Amino acid sequence: MIQRIQSLHLLFSALCAGLLFLFPLWEAHLNMTGMEGKVQEFTIMHNSILIMTTVVAALIPLIAIFFHHKRTLQKRLAWITIVVILLLYGLIYYYSKQFDSPLAEMFEVSFKVGLLLPFFSIVFILLAIQGIRKDEKLLQSMDRLR
């Protein structure tokens, strides 16, 4: 099960999604003279919808690892994970726009590593899909030899 490279890629994808709980997405600093400092750090933990979406994005690849005998189902779960992660990016964008206000020019926003983790998760999922396809081709060639 874990011997296959796509299982490791799925595991790394789930790990990247799980690390979103530890790393902030961005920080907002007050950008006024005499009042400088960190104002707010936005993480996944600030919104329950983001928490649920992140949990789903982390659990689906872990579940897909155990379907190593059903490659088509494993591939479908991988594509569903990509859709969930893209939805997560959309929700993050939506909630970042909620931060915009008339006072937004007073704040300087700096993006953190948390915004890159879903991208890495997608990359690992795509690598897993590529590995699943290689397995399918290998099995098809073995069936031709029989």
Task: Label residue 83 exposed, middle or buried (CB < 10 Å: 0-12, 13-18, 19+).
Answer: exposed
> What mean pLDDT, rounded, does the chain reach?
83
pLDDT in tens, 125-140: 999 999 888 887 887 7
Cβ(16)–Cβ(57) under 8 Å? no
What pLDDT does residue 104 have? 59
User: For residue 145, is it within any domain?
Assistant: no
Q: What domain range includes position 42?
A: 5-139
How many separate domains does the chain show? 1
What pLDDT does residue 9 have? 92
- For residues 42 and 11, the model is more confident at 11
User: For residue 146, is it within any domain?
Assistant: no
User: For residue 53, is it within any domain?
Assistant: yes
pLDDT in tens, 54-104: 999 999 999 999 888 888 899 999 999 999 999 999 998 888 777 655 555
Q: How many CB atoms lie within 10 A of CB 78?
A: 24
Residue 66, phi then psi, degrees to nearest 5: -80, -5
Of the listed ranges 34-48, 94-108, 116-130, the least confidently predicted one is 94-108
Name the CA dihedral angle for 41, 11, 6, 120, rounded to a multiple of 10 degrees: 10
What pLDDT does residue 132 have? 86
- According to DSSP H, which parts of the chain are helical? 5-18, 48-65, 71-99, 117-145
What pLDDT does residue 141 have? 79
- The CATH number of residue 45's host domain is 1.20.140
CA distances from 11 to 54, 113, 130, 140 (A): 15, 19, 15, 26
pLDDT of 47 over the 70 cut: yes
- For residues 38 and 115, the model is more confident at 115
User: For residue 21, is it within any domain?
Assistant: yes
Using pLDDT thresholds of 50, 70 and 90, give the confidence band for residue 37.
low
User: For residue 144, is it within any domain?
Assistant: no
What pLDDT does residue 70 have? 86
